[in-house]
Amino acid sequence: MVRRLRSYSFTWLDAAQLPERIGNGAALMIIDVRGPDKFNGELGHLGGGENIPIAELPRRIGDLDQFKKQEVVLGCRTKTRSARAAVTLKQAGFRNVAVLRGGMAEWSRQRLPVEKETGFALQRVS
């Protein structure tokens, strides 16, 4: 697994950096790869984020084609599933993929804003 992760280039994004990017109007897509129960659970999720569980990601790559040329930020509880998802997206031709370092656990630790509702449509955050 470690060797495979090293062969794909993606960015690690610290929790404090993401609000800056969103605030600066960066065109990005946020994907949370946890299951729906965790997405809406105790840690919540990032506003505007799309929930695509990692097990569904390979089947849903086609739904994300419109985002191939912009930054895609992946999140999970810590970072492990997000890093695996980053490899999947890079293999599918996504150019600019970032993983939220520390995931929602770190986001929550820093007391950054979260949402706990469901029903987000696949959309671009800009």
Walk me through the domains of the chain, giving residue ranges and CATH numbers.
Answer: 2-109 (3.40.250.10)
H-type alpha helices, 14-100: 17-23, 36-39, 57-60, 80-91
pLDDT averaged per 10 residues in sequence order, the chain, 126 residues: 59 92 85 95 91 96 93 95 96 95 95 75 41
pTM of structure: 0.85
What is the predicted pLDDT for the residue at 7?
54
What is the predicted pLDDT for the residue at 85?
97
41 to 38, 44, 52, 117: CA distances (angstroms): 5, 5, 15, 9
What is the predicted pLDDT for the residue at 126?
39
What is the predicted pLDDT for the residue at 90?
95
